[in-house]
Amino acid sequence: MKRKDIWVIAGVVALGLVLLVASRVLRPAPAVPGRPALALSLGAAPDGALPVADSYLRIKQGSEYYQLVPLLGPGEITITQGDWENVIHVDRDGAVMASANCPKQECVHQGRVTLQNRDLRVFQRWITCLPHQVALELLSREEALQLLGEAP
Amino acid sequence: MKGTQRLALSALFVSIMLVLGYLESLFSLGPIPGIKLGLSNSVLLLCLYWLGVPTSVLLMLAKVFLSGFLFGSLNTIQYSLAGGVVSMLGMIAMTHGLRGVSPVGAGVVGGALHNVGQVLMAMLTLQTASLLYYMAVLVFVGAVMGGITGSVVVSLKRFLPYDRRQRFGFVQNVNAQAKGEGTPGTTPPGSHPGDLPPFPEEESIESKTH
């Protein structure tokens, strides 16, 4: 290894550290009006105030967000886009991508996200299925209210 | 003859990259999705030293599209292309732009930037910045893997033609006659068993008149 290699490696490490800092600083985008809730097994989210729950699941499909899904108990959410299908299992504590018919199933291998582990996961609060462009984000109640501009 | 030699080498390198890429896709290196050893990058780095920038870019594109059509999908091509382009730009800068960077340093940059390109494409697709933490992790992992692949190239550089070794500073002493046989990296062209004759200079007109 040569001397310039040390500088190159230092530059790469610096890039990684900058990205780490940026990931802590940048906040999630505010909610935008989108499609109605998908949570058929949990019941459709009512209009008006956000249902009381400890955590909420925000589902993004492509560039659009669905209404927040309050995690009130065990349930299943199926997202179908033509031949693509993603099945999400939720419970009061969190969510997991139970199955998907994407080629590599990497979204399934990302594991379960809960309020307790979301700061420790590599994907943080997200579960993403890139081929199907589906992304799940787990929010606490405070974050959900902040997103909707409502008082806690 | 020399054009045919270049073509044969290019085909060989693309084949090797396809096989290595397929083998890597069969197993994962850890619980974090997207981590691969990147052995194809070591071949690409060797190509940069051996065949130059234009040919290496073409080989990268060939590898991306062929592996996508054979083993993946249009989505695979999208992310592979993003990673390949960003990685290639970094490795070109390290090998042909900056002087004094070894294959290890070039490999580190290539490995890290490959992951940056792929995650950037994912962020553009999902239109979110929330994958930055994942990108940061992959930068570190990619740098380590790139260092390993760069070390592979260090051990393979002895197979480069003498003029290519000389151009990139892999020859320890330019006056090879003074060193004699047996000294690594100093034997003149043609004296080492298996040495390929040097390729003509890509942009030199004067060499054709000699």
Tens digit of pLDDT for each residue in B82-102? 999 999 999 999 999 988 899
- CA nearest to B116, candidates B153, B142, B144, B149: B142
Q: Chain A closest CA to B106's CA: distance in Å?
A: 8
The answer to the question of residue A90 being in a domain is yes
The reply to whether residue A1 touches residue B122, judged by beta carbons under 8 angstroms, is: no
The answer to the question of residue A28 being in a domain is no
Assess whether pLDDT exceeds 80 at residue A33. no
Tokens of A23: 């990931």
Task: Point out which residues pair with A55 in neighbouring strands.
Answer: A140
Q: What is the average pLDDT across B122-126?
A: 83
Give chain A positions within 8 Å (CB) of B73.
103, 131
Q: Predicted ipTM?
A: 0.72
- CA nearest to B183, candidates A2, B49, B175: B175
Confidence category of residue A43, pLDDT binned at 50, 70, 90: very low
Confidence category of residue B200, pLDDT binned at 50, 70, 90: low
CA-nearest residue to B104 within chain A is A1
The answer to the question of residue A86 being in a domain is yes
The answer to the question of residue A17 being in a domain is no
- Supply the pLDDT for residue B45: 94
Contact present, B24 and B134 (Cβ < 8 Å): no
- Supply the pLDDT for residue B14: 95
* DSSP character string of A65-134: EBPPEE--SSEEEEEEETTEEEEEEE-SSEEEEEEE-SSS-HHHHT--EETTTTTTSTTTTEEEETTTTE
**Higher-confidence residue: B201 or A66?**
A66
Q: What is the domain range of residue A141?
A: 33-148
Assess whether pLDDT exceeds 60 at residue A45. no
A23 touching chain B per CB within 8 A: yes
The pLDDT tens digits of the residues spanning B56-90 come to 999 999 999 998 888 877 778 888 899 999 999 99
Q: In whole angstroms, what is the distance from residue B108 CA to residue B113 CA?
A: 8
- Closest by Cβ to A19, choosing from B33, B98, B139: B139
Quote the longest CA-to-CA distance of chain A: 64
Contacts with A15 (C-beta within 8 Å, 6 or more apart), sequence order: B112, B116, B139
The reply to whether residue A128 touches residue B126, judged by beta carbons under 8 angstroms, is: yes
The answer to the question of residue A88 being in a domain is yes
- CA nearest to B126, candidates A104, A101, A107: A107
- Supply the pLDDT for residue B165: 87
**Higher-confidence residue: B5 or A64?**
B5
The reply to whether residue B108 touches residue A122, judged by beta carbons under 8 angstroms, is: no
The reply to whether residue A20 touches residue B133, judged by beta carbons under 8 angstroms, is: yes
Quote the longest CA-to-CA distance of chain B: 61
Q: Which of A99-108, B4-13, B171-180 has the lowest mean pLDDT?
A: B171-180
**Residue A82 belongs to domain with CATH number:** 2.60.320.10
The reply to whether residue A4 touches residue B132, judged by beta carbons under 8 angstroms, is: no
- Supply the pLDDT for residue B207: 44
- Closest by Cβ to A8, choosing from B79, B109, B131: B109
How far CA B161 is from CA of A1, B28, B49, B195, B201, in Å, comes to 21, 35, 10, 6, 12
Confidence category of residue B144, pLDDT binned at 50, 70, 90: very high
Confidence category of residue B198, pLDDT binned at 50, 70, 90: low
The pLDDT tens digits of the residues spanning A74-131 come to 989 888 888 888 999 999 989 999 999 887 788 888 889 999 988 888 888 889 888 8
Confidence category of residue B180, pLDDT binned at 50, 70, 90: very low
Confidence category of residue B114, pLDDT binned at 50, 70, 90: very high
- Supply the pLDDT for residue B32: 66
C-alpha R_g of chain A: 18
How far CA A16 is from CA of A19, B85, B127, B193, in Å, comes to 5, 19, 21, 44
How far CA B170 is from CA of A66, B56, B99, B186, B194, in Å, comes to 58, 19, 12, 9, 18
- Supply the pLDDT for residue A39: 42
- Would you say the C-alpha torsion B150, B154, B156, B161 has a positive or negative sign? positive
Number of structural domains (chain A) is 1
Confidence category of residue B186, pLDDT binned at 50, 70, 90: very low
Chain B contact probe: residue of A97, A110, A113, A122 with most B CBs at under 10 A? A122
The reply to whether residue B105 touches residue A8, judged by beta carbons under 8 angstroms, is: yes
Does residue A59 sit in helix, strand or coil? strand
Tokens of A2: 């040569």
Q: Within 13 Å of residue B33, how many CA atoms lie on the same side as its CB?
A: 17
Give chain B positions within 8 Å (CB) of A23.
130, 132-133, 135-136
What single-letter DSSP state applies at residue B159? G
- Supply the pLDDT for residue A84: 86
A8 touching chain B per CB within 8 A: yes
Instruction: Please report the number of interchain residue pairs, chain A to chain B, with beta-carbon separation below 8 angstroms.
Output: 110
Contact present, A69 and A37 (Cβ < 8 Å): yes
- Supply the pLDDT for residue A27: 54
A128 touching chain B per CB within 8 A: yes
The pLDDT tens digits of the residues spanning A5-29 come to 999 999 999 999 999 888 877 755 5
* DSSP character string of B177-200: HHH-TTSTT-PPTTSSTTPPPPPP
Tokens of A66: 């669905």
B33 touching chain A per CB within 8 A: yes
- Closest by Cβ to A23, choosing from B34, B76, B133: B133
- Supply the pLDDT for residue B31: 63
Assess whether pLDDT exceeds 60 at residue A67. yes
- Supply the pLDDT for residue B209: 46
Assess whether pLDDT exceeds 50 at residue B4. yes
Contact present, B79 and B114 (Cβ < 8 Å): no
The reply to whether residue A123 touches residue B129, judged by beta carbons under 8 angstroms, is: no
For B:148-207, CB contacts with A below 8 A are none
User: SS3 string of B104-146?
Assistant: HHHHHHHHHHHHHHHHHHHHHHHCCCCCHHHHHHHHHHHHHHH
